[in-house]
Amino acid sequence: MEYKVSDLPDTLRPYILPQTDGCWRWVGKVDRNGYGRSKSGWAHREVYEALVGPIPPGLHLDHLCRVPLCQNPAHLEAVTPGENFIRSMHPSAVAHRRGTCKRGHPIAEFRQVKDGTRYCAACRRELQRRHYAAQDWPTMIARKHGKGTYTRRTPEQVVAIRAMLEIGISQAEVARVFGCSPSTISEIARGLAHAAPIPVYDPKVVEE
């Protein structure tokens, strides 16, 4: 069916500029995603409802021409949100059409949860491996058992931190000086994690 710009209401007609490729370019306000906005909502939805009819509840309008500013109803199709996403150029949608996840793992690795959403099991395994590899396991084990641990702070830094705290400097200020979080300074003050071992003076060792 052929649609005409002249059939649109006065609130929409002045903002539409027909193009040689058949698209009706919106020349009014545009949002950050590149879609036209009228005073009362999405421009392409209003144009579609004005020339075609009501959009079924829960459906989105897919731009078949892949031009977000196009308002031509002949270039719009009412589809489900899921179908609209799959047709989009989002990396996950492109990968779905290719039969892989966005990182290239085959669709056989996909798993579905109770709410119907899917995820890539291979991607999740890689994320878990990176997460566990980045953990400071000595510190975590020491915290679990209520013990101190050897960590990144040198003995000299620990002594300086405790000295600053003793003269009344706040933990937040000390943290800014040493480039760490206040919680790290708090743990050092309490002798927990992040408190590196401090050498103990032994006269016998010095005499030898």
pLDDT tens digits, residue range 115-160? 777 788 888 888 888 887 776 666 665 555 555 444 467 777 888 8
Q: What pLDDT is recorded for position 140?
A: 62
Residue 45 resides in a domain: yes
Residue 95 resides in a domain: no
Q: What pLDDT is recorded for position 118?
A: 78
- Residue 91: strand, helix, or coil: helix
Could you tell me if 9 and 83 lie in one domain?
yes
Q: What CA–CA distance (Å, rounded) separates 123 from 104?
A: 9
Number of domains in the chain: 2
In DSSP notation, 5-55 reads GGGS-TTTGGGEEE-TTS-EEE-SEE-TTS-EE-SSSBHHHHHHHHHT-PP
- Please give the single-letter amino acid code of residue 90: H
Residue 109 resides in a domain: no
Give me the residue label for tokens 């085959």: 106
Residue 69 resides in a domain: yes
Q: What CA–CA distance (Å, rounded) separates 68 from 76?
A: 10
Residue-number span of the structural domain to which 46 is assigned: 5-88
CATH number of the CATH domain containing 148: 1.10.10
Q: What CA–CA distance (Å, rounded) separates 17 from 23?
A: 8
Q: What pLDDT is recorded for position 192?
A: 67
Q: What pLDDT is recorded for position 143?
A: 58
Q: What pLDDT is recorded for position 148?
A: 47
Average pLDDT value for residue range 162-169: 87
Average pLDDT value for residue range 25-33: 93
pTM: 0.52
Residue 18 resides in a domain: yes
* Buried residues in 24-62 as b, exposed as e (16+ CB within 10 A): bbbeeeeeeeebbbbeeebbbbbbbebbeeeeeeeebbb
Q: Identify which of 72-81, 154-163, 178-187 has the greatest average pLDDT.
A: 72-81
Residue 141 resides in a domain: yes
pLDDT tens digits, residue range 47-78? 999 999 999 999 999 999 999 999 999 999 99
CATH number of the CATH domain containing 44: 3.90.75
- Please give the single-letter amino acid code of residue 203: P
